[in-house]
Amino acid sequence: MTIEWHYTAGEDFSLLSLSGHLGPEGAHRFTGAIGWVLARGTGPVVVDMSGLRSWSVNGQLAVIEAARRLGAHGRSLELAAIPADGSLVPAGDCPPITIHTDLAAAIAGHDADGQGSDGRQQWHTSGWSA
């Protein structure tokens, strides 16, 4: 079992939504999604984890590595609705990761004009179900 992802590139921030299980297989797919995000967006990246059923240590390490990759390009990583079965404890050399209780709180911090996702570019894996 792996993850599916949906990416929306906005002007002020980008949103990467995940579903499934972020384990060893999902970590590789997540790493690929972060590469996609780096190539197609700017600004902070909010990762919506509300669709994740669970995540493993490998998945958590992939998230920490994503924060490093994004930080190297001047971008930050924010998490919304992390799975209840684990907490993220980044290493001391990891850029700060903002954690929001849910997606609405994350979006409220970025979407000051209330425009939502209108007119933004979107991509997703073939298994993503809206």
Rounded to whole angstroms, the Cα distance separating 112 from 7 reads: 20
Count of domains for the chain: 1
Residue range 53-68: mean pLDDT, rounded: 92
> Which residues are bridge partners to 64 per DSSP?
none
Helix (H) or strand (E) holding 81: none
Task: Judge whether 120 lies within some domain.
Answer: no
Containing domain of residue 12, as a range? 3-111
Q: What is the CATH number of the domain that holds 92?
A: 3.30.750.24
Task: Judge whether 130 lies within some domain.
Answer: no
pLDDT of residue 128: 65
pLDDT tens sequence across 36-45: 899 988 899 9
pTM, two decimals, is 0.84
Q: Which pLDDT band holds residue 76 (cuts at 50, 70, 90)?
A: very high
Task: Judge whether 8 lies within some domain.
Answer: yes
Q: Which pLDDT band holds residue 84 (cuts at 50, 70, 90)?
A: confident
Task: Judge whether 32 lies within some domain.
Answer: yes
> Which residues are bridge partners to 16 per DSSP?
7, 47
pLDDT tens sequence across 97-130: 998 999 999 988 776 554 444 556 665 666 766 5
pLDDT of residue 81: 92
Task: Judge whether 124 lies within some domain.
Answer: no
Copy the structure tokens of residue 47: 């990762």
